[in-house]
Structure 1
């Protein structure tokens, strides 16, 4: 499968975890590999942030299937069985079927790559993801000409997910992207962090990462991917259409009905950490703004 993003990093290039969060080492390594030039303003946006730790990344999570508290996923997600694992790919594809996790990785003709993306909700952190482009997975199944959207579903297994006993959302968790968003080279399927397999609470064994959108768009523990010609329903949009739009792009100029999104609080800085301005498209405007040319982003929020 052709590579669309000129990133030469592989797992062998990952800095050891103990040294990973040395800012000078990160930037020197990126410059030497050419990744800094490929990411452009994205790296500059990340460079302005202090790095996060393994403990912060894995212990401050949203995964409502295990509870609504930020610590609930790390406390209860070890109940989730992640082997064996398969993903159903169906809808407008040439080769529908159930693909095992091992089969998916075996079909990839390139090494898993290292990405370092910012994740933003009302708070933000920097996470060193590894994985592959979602486009590789979709091309593996063969995207048909009529496809316009991609929908996703999370595992729904009440016996292992205590949070599903509560109707916080209409389970299973569902998300979706427009096809051009899904095929963008920054849209990835993550399989690990810090050079290690994904912990359960972070969406093991396979999760979506869309770095210019709010965190809830990056659906965890994916078991179904469907290509469709209709905009798919998404969990938060179904729960409250007024507050959660389909696109959910990071946009400081569009406030949530109950709070401003013009600033964000950095995880790791303490309860009274100074808020900082939220960047349009989470700092990835150079890469993704063209996807939304001509759209009213206050209406298509």
Structure 2
């Protein structure tokens, strides 16, 4: 099990607010109650194996798309996660993902495109060179990190499949493996997890298909072997362990919108001027920022306004949240 250790000068270690974020829609208690009803003493107790090993990647840093802010530690990035397929607590993904097998892996391409079918991960990513981009990630629960992702531009990959003029959206689906992903055994969400982008959002140069973090392949708890990163959107718009990508004419369903449409819309853009129904989005807590994890002002589009604001020109960003 990955154990997060206090940093030098951080004598109090992990704060209670870091363990369970405020206002979580579906609490860890829901999952634990379901586990107890099934005769399990705890998800972690049933799935004690450590997360899979990672390997080094070959890549180049893309400075043009990287923030100059200092990245969080590897321990922060891999030990504090939302990945409900492995549990609703922030430490659950690291503790409960050991049985997940990210290799071999295939990705299915379907829908409104000239080239469709099932591809191995290697064929899916060819011939794209890996690059590192240091992005901010801002969660709707009002915490944030700075993360050095390794991956390939999503738009470059999608163009290879030649989407037709009917392709207005891109839909994504997570693998469904309850035998390896214990959270999928409980109805905390409508499984499998699904997500979507408008096609111009998907083609934006910031959109990334990540295969690694900190120069290594993605650990299971971070979405191995393939996940979406859209840095101007809230963290739940970063679907993990992707097995299917579909080009659609109509807006696709998304998991959090299905579960709570009054709280989670399709766009999920970071907007400090639009509060979550149960808490403010005006400020955020930077994980690993010291003893008190001081709150800092939330930036419009998470600081990427220059790069993406044009995508939403003329839209009501309070209504289209």
What is the TM-score with the length of structure 1 in the denominator? Answer: 0.84
Q: After the TM superposition, which parts of structure 1 deviate over 6 Å for at least 4 consecutive aligned residues? A: none
Q: Is the 8 A contact 2:71 2:148 kept in 1?
A: no
1:173 paired residue among 165, 183, 193 = 193
Match of 1:3 in 2: none
Name the Cα RMSD after superposition. 1.5
List per-residue Cα deviations over 1:241-268 (Å, max 9, x = no partner): 0000100000000000000000000101
Match of 1:115 in 2: 133
Provide the C-alpha distance between the structure 2 equivalents of 1:129 and 1:51, rounded to a whole number of angstroms.
10
Map 1:96-107 → 2, pairs under 5 A:
96-105=116-125, 107=126
Do residues 60 (structure 1) and 80 (structure 2) align?
Answer: yes
Provide the C-alpha distance between the structure 1 equivalents of 2:293 and 2:102, rounded to a whole number of angstroms.
36
Match of 2:106 in 1: 86
| Cα shift at 1:269 | 2.7
SS state at 2:158 partner: helix
Structure 1 unpaired stretches of 5+: 1-9, 15-29
Match of 1:163 in 2: 183
Provide the C-alpha distance between the structure 2 equivalents of 1:95 and 1:270, rounded to a whole number of angstroms.
49
Match of 1:283 in 2: 303
Q: Is the 8 A contact 1:11 1:114 kept in 2?
A: no
List per-residue Cα deviations over 1:217-242 (Å, max 9, x = no partner): 01000001010000000000000100
Provide the C-alpha distance between the structure 1 equivalents of 2:271 and 2:257, rounded to a whole number of angstroms.
17
Provide the C-alpha distance between the structure 1 equivalents of 2:222 and 2:130, rounded to a whole number of angstroms.
18
Greater fraction helix: 1
1:219 paired residue among 239, 256, 268 = 239
CA distance 1:158–1:68, shift in 2 (3 Å): same
Match of 2:11 in 1: none
1:205 paired residue among 225, 236, 240 = 225
List per-residue Cα deviations over 1:269-293 (Å, max 9, x = no partner): 3573211100000000000000000
Provide the C-alpha distance between the structure 2 equivalents of 1:150 and 1:58, rounded to a whole number of angstroms.
27
List per-residue Cα deviations over 1:4-26 (Å, max 9, x = no partner): xxxxxx94546xxxxxxxxxxxx
| Cα shift at 1:87 | 0.6
Do residues 233 (structure 1) and 253 (structure 2) align?
Answer: yes
Aligned length: 263
Structure 2 unpaired stretches of 5+: 1-56
CA distance 1:12–1:224, shift in 2 (3 Å): closer
Provide the C-alpha distance between the structure 2 equivalents of 1:186 and 1:214, rounded to a whole number of angstroms.
14
List per-residue Cα deviations over 1:17-57 (Å, max 9, x = no partner): xxxxxxxxxxxxx7xxxx3xx34xx73xx53xx43110110
List per-residue Cα deviations over 1:49-81 (Å, max 9, x = no partner): x43110110010011000000001001112111
Provide the C-alpha distance between the structure 2 equivalents of 1:270 and 1:72, rounded to a whole number of angstroms.
23
Q: Is the 8 A contact 1:263 1:277 kept in 2?
A: yes
SS state at 2:98 partner: helix
1:191 paired residue among 203, 206, 211 = 211
